[in-house]
């Protein structure tokens, strides 16, 4: 009946729940969340900021408005007496699903046969807790788009080469940024269980092994769109998320995390023109918040993240109503055995941040 309930009633109930729980309840909201949800967030941020926020919070209940891997991370960074809830269990991340634990174990076995003990695993936080645990257990760490450069440099200080899971684009863009030539990167295909090399690079020369995963939202931005924007409006600045392909990031004027995109546009001068290559809720919000600037999506058909958008007013209201009755709907609890090692990877990531 939440679908038929009036918006006013849902808003009233959410406000009541927030007042009822006070500081015992924390609602973190990722920048890709819907407007109807983000209005109730106690704090908004990119993945790194929200992880840091949860790590510091002592709220008894965290109702995470984001996707599943973010709620898992929140659970692992908080104490046992804290409860993390995700308003809709179907709010996953298609990229995180592109690397399973079984595939990772199989890849690691094959790669260590090739490279012995010269390899360290790194995973983007957009991955399951089990993948994070795998990395923690094998001397590796997590990273987000905010600290990818630092973490890739750190990893290359540990071992000669690294396996980067699960986003090949963030991995390639980051490695290129720190000066690794594309020829020294290869792609690991989890389905064929084999390494796809560029041209005739020798196995020995490969420094970065990129998992063949991608974001279905950010793959929709292309160099052709950038060319079209520039042709129409030569004074337009193109800013994209580093989950976009290498060619798109190279062709754009700037690339960075959602937080970086927000900061850059906030600081831009009035009258400036922007084409933004990231999720549509964030692009629309930026356009609304900066009416003095021209802000539009790089892709004219916009790009929604379907899973981020699963969290809506109905689900938030339902979760909070049930919470008031003592029912924990969609509680996210990572098993202890996984948390133990995933925390190692997460702590290495959080330590890298000044």
Please give the residue ranges that form the binding site for ligand SF4 (CB under 6 A): 67, 93-95, 126, 215-217, 243, 279, 305, 307-308
Distance CA 260, CA 268 (A): 12
Which is closer to ligand 13P, CB of 170 or CB of 323?
170
314 appears as a binding residue in the annotation = no
Least separation in angstroms between residue 184's CB and ligand 13P is 26
Contacts within 8 Å (CB) and 24+ apart, 102-111: 103/190, 104/131, 104/134, 104/165, 104/190, 105/134, 106/190, 106/193, 107/163, 107/188, 107/190, 107/193, 107/211, 108/134, 108/138, 108/163, 110/193, 110/194, 111/163, 111/188, 111/195, 111/209
312 binds, among ligand SF4, ligand 13P, none (CB under 5 to 8 A by kind): none
Closer to ligand 13P by Cβ: residue 33 or 225: 33
The answer to whether 85 touches 329, Cβ cutoff 8 Å, is yes
- Binds 258: which of ligand SF4, ligand 13P, none (CB < 5-8 Å by kind): ligand 13P
Residue 39's alpha-carbon distances to 4, 15, 183, 216, in angstroms, are 21, 11, 46, 26
List, in order, residues 6 or more apart from 193 with CB less than 8 Å away: 106, 107, 110
Q: What are phi and psi of 73, to 5 degrees?
A: -60, -45
Nearer to ligand SF4, 91 or 344 (CB): 91
- Smallest distance, ligand 13P to C-beta of residue 48, A: 6
94 binds, among ligand SF4, ligand 13P, none (CB under 5 to 8 A by kind): ligand SF4
Could you give the 3-state DSSP secondary structure of residue 295?
A: strand
Helix, strand, coil fractions of the chain, as percent rounded to 5: 45, 15, 35
Exactly one of 14, 29, 40, 46 binds ligand 13P (CB under 6 A); that residue is 46
Q: Is 246 annotated as a binding residue?
A: no
Is 94 flagged in the annotation as binding?
Answer: no
Q: Is 305 labelled a binding residue?
A: yes
228 is in an annotated binding site: no
Please, which residue, 25 or 96, has the CB nearer to ligand SF4? 96
Run of H or E residues at 237: strand 236-240
Q: Are 304 and 282 in contact (CB under 8 A)?
A: no
Residue from the set 73, 104, 126, 174 that interacts with ligand 13P by CB under 6 A: 126
Pick what 216 binds: ligand SF4, ligand 13P, none; C-beta below 5 to 8 Å, kind-dependent.
Answer: ligand SF4
241 is in an annotated binding site: yes
243 binds ligand 13P (CB under 6 A): yes
**Going residue by residue from 198 to 217, which x/- string records binding to ligand 13P, judged by CB under 6 A?**
-----------------x--
Name the binder of 46 from ligand SF4, ligand 13P, none, CB < 5-8 A by kind. Answer: ligand 13P
Gap between the Cα atoms of 47 and 43, Å rounded? 12
The structure tokens listed for 69 are 């891997």
| Interface of this chain with ligand 13P, residues 135 to 164, rule: CB under 6 A | 144-145
CA dihedral in degrees (93, 98, 103, 105; nearest 10)? Answer: -50
Q: Is 24 annotated as ligand-binding? A: no
In contact, 260 and 144? CB cutoff 8 Å = no
Cβ(170)–Cβ(266) below 8 Å? no
Residues in binding site for iminosuccinate: 30, 47, 124-126, 145, 241-243, 258
Residues that bind ligand 13P (CB under 6 A): 31, 46-47, 126, 144-145, 215, 241, 243, 257-258
Residues annotated within the binding site are: 30, 47, 93, 124-126, 145, 215, 241-243, 258, 305
């Amino acid at each position: 009946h939440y679908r038929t309930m009036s918006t006013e009633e849902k808003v009233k109930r959410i406000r009541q729940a927030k007042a009822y729980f006070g500081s015992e309840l924390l609602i973190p909201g990722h920048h890709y969340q819907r407007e109807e949800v983000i209005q109730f967030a106690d704090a908004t941020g990119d993945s790194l900021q929200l992880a840091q926020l949860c790590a510091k919070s002592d709220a008894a209940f965290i109702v995470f408005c984001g996707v599943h891997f973010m709620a898992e991370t929140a659970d692992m960074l908080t104490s046992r007496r804290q409860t993390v809830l995700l308003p809709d269990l179907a709010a996953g991340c298609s990229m995180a699903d592109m690397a399973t634990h079984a595939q990772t174990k199989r890849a690691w076995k094959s790669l260590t046969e090739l490279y012995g003990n010269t390899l360290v695993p790194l995973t983007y936080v957009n991955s399951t807790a089990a993948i994070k645990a795998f990395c923690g257990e094998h001397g590796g760490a997590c990273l987000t788009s905010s600290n990818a450069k630092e973490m890739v440099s750190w990893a290359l200080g540990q071992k000669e080469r690294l396996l980067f899971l699960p986003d090949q684009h963030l991995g390639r863009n980051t490695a290129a940024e720190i000066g690794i030539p594309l020829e020294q990167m290869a792609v690991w295909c989890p389905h064929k269980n084999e390494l796809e090399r560029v041209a005739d690079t020798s196995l020995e020369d490969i420094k970065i092994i990129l998992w063949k995963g991608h974001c279905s939202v950010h793959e929709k931005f292309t160099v052709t769109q950038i060319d079209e924007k520039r042709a129409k409006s030569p004074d337009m600045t193109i800013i994209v998320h580093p989950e976009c392909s290498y060619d798109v990031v190279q062709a754009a004027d700037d690339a960075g995390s959602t937080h970086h995109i927000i900061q850059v546009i906030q600081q831009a001068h009035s009258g400036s023109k922007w084409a933004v290559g990231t999720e549509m809720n964030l692009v629309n919000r930026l356009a609304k918040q900066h009416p003095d600037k021209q802000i539009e999506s790089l892709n004219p058909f916009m790009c929604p993240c379907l899973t981020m958008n699963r969290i809506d007013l109905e689900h938030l209201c339902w979760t909070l109503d049930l919470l008031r009755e003592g029912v924990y709907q969609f509680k996210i609890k990572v098993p202890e055995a996984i948390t133990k090692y995933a925390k190692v990877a997460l702590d290495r990531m959080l330590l890298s941040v000044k």
